[in-house]
């Protein structure tokens, strides 16, 4: 049975379903206290359960009241350990029966579009996964609907939230090494789907998959985060029979920014034995190298090269919590911002607007291919 927020919290008092990190007042103020909590539903049994769920359930000011997804064995084991039982198999049923203030989504781009539309129509705030949608028109529609209904929206562009990335951003803003002239990206790894020959939307271009839309949607966002608005893109796509559904396994971009900065970017999700995520910032008086050699958000270093030598910049690391995946601590930062924005009825960044911008850049890449010869 679907429970209201206060009854649901009370029914779970014996477990650890929601770490609300508040001291609830004594009755008769308990009901008033509960009404201040943002009620969130999670949709998605993959990253929704092992990424969004642990991130949101430890954020002050919100409580995760329900999750919708297929009952995967790993997911069910996790929910058993935290005492969470309010599960749905149908997101429409969840939206109908739960009194939700917000939802966080981690599903396919097409499904996300449909779910977000339905939630927005009900006045429910939405935290989305990237890419925002499968097509540019879908992304535009979501932005328009969100504006019309005046809901708060966010999107999971997580890399700029990493401590080392924030350090580099600050150095560029302060022009520590002078003006940024050129930015180069090298991102190589072997994706799960290609390694295991797993057929899914992630290797189907028309469904929002492929090296560009699925993986480098992050890159298109952080390129503008560091260097400003992109003016022109030329793109060369690489294909391989190793991609189960034929989507590109690589993309190489030539970039020019409106402020005169130039850039190159390379991404490949079929690189057996080679894992690296490297950004090189060529400035007037030196070079900044931001990179890691394993993991997704962990292990980044910041190294500065100048005429006087090389220096590794010490950065206070983002801290993991026990039994959490490495991305959770970063998603939690965005989740906190989203919950705060919902509570103050303001907008957060990154939002659907950044998601739409990335969708525009994806279209630019497809409209401006470099010849393969």
> Euclidean distance between the first and final Cα of the chain, in Å?
61
In Å, how far are 5, 129, 136, 156, 315 from 110, measured between CA atoms? 30, 11, 12, 16, 39
Q: Is 146 helix (H, G, I), strand (E, B) or coil?
A: helix
Q: How many residues does the chain have?
A: 373
Q: Which of 358, 343, 353 is nearest to 39 (CA)?
A: 343
| pLDDT tens digits, 272-328 | 999 999 999 999 999 999 999 999 999 999 999 999 999 999 999 998 888 899 999
pLDDT for 54? 95
Q: 1 CB contacts (<8 Å, ≥6 apart)?
A: none
| pLDDT over threshold 80, residue 129 | yes
pLDDT band at 368 (very low <50, low <70, confident <90, very high): confident
At residue 372, does pLDDT exceed 90?
no
Judge whether 128 and 154 are in contact, CB under 8 Å.
yes
Q: Please write the tens of the pLDDT for every residue from 242-268.
A: 999 999 999 999 999 999 999 999 999
The answer to whether 162 and 318 have CB atoms below 8 angstroms apart is yes
What is the secondary structure of 10-33 as a DSSP string? Answer: HHTTTS-S----S-PPPTTSHHHH
Output the pLDDT for position 101: 98
Question: φ, ψ for residue 209 (rounded to 5)?
Answer: -95, -170
Half-sphere exposure of 328 (CA within 13 A, CB side): 21
Q: Which of 7-11, 125-129, 152-156, 347-351 has the lowest mean pLDDT?
A: 7-11
Residue 71 is predicted with a pLDDT of 72
Contact 2, 86 (CB under 8 A): yes
Residue 104 has a CB neighbour count (10 Å cut-off) of 29
Domain limits of the chain?
Answer: 5-158+331-350, 163-317
3-state secondary structure of 61: coil
**How far is it, in rounded angstroms, from Cα 41 to Cα 39?**
7
pLDDT tens by residue, 190-243: 999 999 999 999 999 889 999 999 999 999 999 999 999 999 999 999 999 999
> How far apart (Å, rounded) are the C-alpha atoms in residues 246 and 239?
7
Residue 17: pLDDT over 90:
no
Of 36 and 89, the structure prediction assigns the larger pLDDT to 89
pLDDT band at 371 (very low <50, low <70, confident <90, very high): low
Q: Do 139 and 363 meet the contact criterion of CB atoms below 8 Å apart?
A: no
Q: Which helix (H) or strand (E) holds 356?
A: helix 352-367
pLDDT tens digits, one per residue of 134-193: 999 999 999 999 999 999 999 999 999 999 999 999 999 999 999 999 999 999 999 999
Query: Residue 11 pLDDT > 90, yes or no?
Result: no
Per the model's pLDDT, the better-predicted residue between 6 and 100 turns out to be 100
Does residue 74 have a pLDDT over 60? yes
pTM here? Answer: 0.88
Strand ordering across the sheet containing 286-292: 230-238, 250-257, 262-268, 180-188, 276-283, 286-292, 301-306, 309-313
Can you give the C-alpha Rg of the chain in angstroms?
A: 21
Model confidence at 27, pLDDT cuts 50, 70, 90, reads: very low
Distances in whole angstroms, Cα of residue 31 to Cα of each of 8, 22, 27, 40, 73: 12, 14, 8, 18, 35
For the chain, what is the mean pLDDT? 90
Query: Does domain 163-317 match CATH 3.40.50.2300?
Result: no
CATH of 5-158+331-350, one of 3.40.50.300, 3.40.50.410, 3.40.50.720, 3.40.630.30: 3.40.50.720
| 261: helix, strand or coil | coil
């Amino acid at each position: 049975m679907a429970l209201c927020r206060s009854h649901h919290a009370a029914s779970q008092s014996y477990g650890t379903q929601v770490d609300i990190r508040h001291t609830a007042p004594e009755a008769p103020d308990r009901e008033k206290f509960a009404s201040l909590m943002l009620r969130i539903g999670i949709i998605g049994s993959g990253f929704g359960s092992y990424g969004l769920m642990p991130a949101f359930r430890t954020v002050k000011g919100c409580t995760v009241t329900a999750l919708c997804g297929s009952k995967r064995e790993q997911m069910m084991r996790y929910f058993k350990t935290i005492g969470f039982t309010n599960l749905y198999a149908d997101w429409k049923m969840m939206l109908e029966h739960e009194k939700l203030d917000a939802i966080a989504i981690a599903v396919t781009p097409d499904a996300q579009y449909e779910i977000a539309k339905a939630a927005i129509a009900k006045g429910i705030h939405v935290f989305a996964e990237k890419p925002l949608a499968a097509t540019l028109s879908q992304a535009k529609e979501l932005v328009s609907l969100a504006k019309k209904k005046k809901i708060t929206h966010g999107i999971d562009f997580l890399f700029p939230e990493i401590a080392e990335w924030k350090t580099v951003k600050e150095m560029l803003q302060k022009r520590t090494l002078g003006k940024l002239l050129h930015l180069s990206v090298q991102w190589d790894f072997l994706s799960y789907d290609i390694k295991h020959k797993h057929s899914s939307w992630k290797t189907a271009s028309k469904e929002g998959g492929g090296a560009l839309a699925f993986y480098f949607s992050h890159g298109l966002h952080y390129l503008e985060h560091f260097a400003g608005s992109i003016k022109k893109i030329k793109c060369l796509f690489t294909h391989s029979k190793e991609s189960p559904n034929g989507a590109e396994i690589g993309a190489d971009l030539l970039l020019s920014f409106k402020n005169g900065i130039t850039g190159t970017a390379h991404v490949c999700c079929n690189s057996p034995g080679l894992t690296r995520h490297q950004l090189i910032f060529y400035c007037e008086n030196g070079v900044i190298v931001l990179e890691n050699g394993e993991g997704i958000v962990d292990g980044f270093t910041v190294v500065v090269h100048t005429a006087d030598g090389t220096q590794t910049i010490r950065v206070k690391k983002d801290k993991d919590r026990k039994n959490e995946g490495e991305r959770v601590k970063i998603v939690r930062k965005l989740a906190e911002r989203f919950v705060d924005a919902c509570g103050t009825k303001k907008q957060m960044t990154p939002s659907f607007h950044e998601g739409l911008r990335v969708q525009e850049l994806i279209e630019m890449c497809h409209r401006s291919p470099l010849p393969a010869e």
